[in-house]
Amino acid sequence: MHPDTPAAPDASLLNVVDVEATCWDGQPPPGAVSEIIEIGLTVVDLAAHRRLGRHRILVRPARSRVSAFCTELTGLTQAEVDGGVSFAEACRLLAREHRAGIRPWASWGDYDRNQFTRQCRATGVAYPFGTVHTNAKAVFTDSHGLRKRPGMARALTVAGLPLEGRHHSGEDDAWNIAALVLDVADRGGWPTPAL
């Protein structure tokens, strides 16, 4: 088991997840489907109000390739993701090292959850997450009294927080989303899941 931190009780830990997937400027090539190529994960200790660790899993796509458009957006190349693990192994890593099936998790919007659901169904891989998911974008919007749900970069501006790293890097985006989760928690707006 990956030691997130020995002092933090697991009940206060939250996995913040952000994925990057193969994408194109327009329609995918014939036979290609959008597949996860990077999973960024930041562990947040909600009780201590701090980010504990950032993690990155590169995933080798099986039915698509990284386009030039995708490289420009994410910074990821085909050569990099060729060195990644299979999607099935990535899901096993989430379960084994990050307690994904037990620990509550959050993402910015529902894209990440839906992409995992689609890809697991399409490949027959067991869905790695438990049932407690929070749409951090919706909670942030409510907490700040906004009418429209902002993208992550805009939300950082609203919260007065810096964008750390590269936008559309799964690892960096998960780290930034975790900062937004803590902003909401500091405002008393983060929901406490019934585990």
Give the tens place of pLDDT for each residue, 97-120.
999 999 999 999 999 999 999 999
Instruction: Calculate mean pLDDT across residues 42-50.
Output: 96
Which pLDDT belongs to residue 5?
41
User: What fold is seen in the domain 10-186?
Assistant: Nucleotidyltransferase; domain 5 (3.30.420)
Give the tens place of pLDDT for each residue, 30-43.
999 999 999 999 99
What is the per-residue DSSP string for the chain?
Answer: ---S-SSS-GGGEEEEEEEEE---SSSPPTT----EEEEEEEEEETTTTEEEEEEEEEB--SS----HHHHHHH---HHHHHTSB-HHHHHHHHHHHH-TTTS-EEESSSHHHHHHHHHHHHHTPPP-S-S-EEEHHHHHHHHTT-SSPPPHHHHHHHHT----S-TT-HHHHHHHHHHHHHHHHHTT-S-----
